[in-house]
Amino acid sequence: MREIRMGRKLTGMILAALLLPLGFAPGQVSAQLLMNGAGATFPYPLYSKWFDEYAKLDRSARFNYQSIGSGGGIRQIMAQTVDFGASDGPMSDEQLRKAPGELFHIPMVMGAVVATYNLPGTPKLRFPADLLADIFLGKVTRWNDPRIEAANPAAGLPNQPIILVHRSDGSGTTYIWVDYLSKVSKEWEAKVGRGTSVNWPVGLGGKGNEGVAGLVKNTPGALGYVELAYAITNKLPAAAIRNRAGHFVEPNIESTTAAAAGAARNMPPDFRVSLTDPPGEDAYPVAGFTWLLVYREQHDEIRGRALAKFLWWATHDGQKYAPALLYAPLPPQVVKMVEPKIKEIRFQGKPLLAGD
């Protein structure tokens, strides 16, 4: 008997615990807007930091973000199930046409993609762009190929096959990498092309940055690509790549920001621009924006204003949180170009940020 009573008591307690939040929740939330967003996984650490910091400044809105991937972000904003989407790759013209309203791409920060490798002694490597493309096309197959040796005379390259490693999961990192290869090699553009996943001519696939890094670390003679942030935190070797100006540039946050500064001169008004292979002396050539996707015409004045205010904050004060998390902040030229775009966000034809 006693046990049964205990059991009932316990059940009652559990039930109460389950019901408790239901009873209290509405009172707390009603005062606060809940803004929903979904999309790219790559900027997620920064976005969650932003939402956290922003919540301290503006208590009226709370931001909720699901990092379901850029593809999912694009689908959700097109279906209008979220207030904002996020993507590492720009939407296609066709997708923009299909969307129920005019969508803005607001650049938030930049990421870079680096070539990492596993060679005895971990020499510093340098790659001319066309050579990189030919390696990934499977045309240059050994480390002691004369073309690699010519660029790295002191590296002491072994007579070993190059084992290529690429991402197996669809990702913005892949998009930036193959977008770069498409720009520097006509053959790559024709045979493989651009996408978050492509039909790789050679190589092994690793899942995520950690999968690629794991394969590279454990396979002598491997060459792969990972995000700059991942390479820095895990102290992976990263090759310098020759940019359009003819300089070999090491990947880091400054050289990534320089890439956007170089691209700012001929930035299209909708910001759907690839930053790969930009002009500029110090620009690291394999970099890209990550965007938030928002409708120009908002359906709800209060929500729309909250969103526009957040975008303004993120592209200005929020940028200072980027370097600590190893994202490259927007250069001032680009921030200047983004400002009028954010001010264009409106409700029933009325700009939402007019006063600022």
Q: Which residues make up the interface to another protein (CB under 8 A)?
A: 41, 68-72, 74-75, 89, 92, 95, 161, 163, 168-172, 192-200, 203-207, 211, 214-215, 218-219
- State residue 119 phi and psi, 5-degree precision: -130, 150
Identity of the residue, 33 or 88, whose beta carbon is nearer to another protein in the bound complex: 88
* Helix 301-315 vs helix 44-57: crossing angle, to nearest 10: 110
| Residue 30 CB, nearest approach to another protein (Å) | 33
Q: How far apart are CA 205 and CA 222, in angstroms?
A: 12
Closest-CA residue to 284 (of 261, 239, 251): 251
* 306 in Cβ contact with 271 (< 8 Å): no
Q: For another protein, which is the closer residue by CB, 225 or 284?
A: 225
Closer residue to another protein in complex, CB, 83/88: 88
The distance of Cα 152 from the centroid of its chain, to the nearest Å, equals 31
Q: Among 61, 71, 67, which Cα is nearest to 43's?
A: 67
- Minimum gap (Å) between residue 356 Cβ and another protein: 34
State the nearest-atom distance from the C-beta of 179 to another protein, in Å.
11
- Quote the least distance from Cβ 322 to another protein, whole Å: 23
Beta carbon of residue 12, minimum distance to another protein (angstroms, whole number): 23
Which residue, 204 or 232, has its beta carbon nearer to another protein? Answer: 204
- Count of helices and strands (H, E) across the chain: 13, 14
Q: Which is nearer to another protein, 73 or 331 (CB)?
A: 73
The nearer residue to another protein, 54 or 177, going by C-beta atoms, is 177
Could you write out the DSSP letters of every residue in 283-336? --SSEEEEEEEEESEES-HHHHHHHHHHHHHHHTGGGGGTGGGT-BPPPHHHHH
| Minimum CB distance to another protein, residue 92 (Å) | 8
Structure-token pair, residue 97: 């046409």
- Nearest approach in angstroms of CB 197 to another protein is 5
Closest CB to another protein among 39 and 329? 39
Token pair of 200 as six digits:
């790789």
Question: CB neighbours (10 Å) of residue 45?
Answer: 14
131, 147 contact by CB (below 8 A): yes
Residues composing the chain: 356
Query: Strands 126-127 and 103-117: what pairing?
Result: unpaired
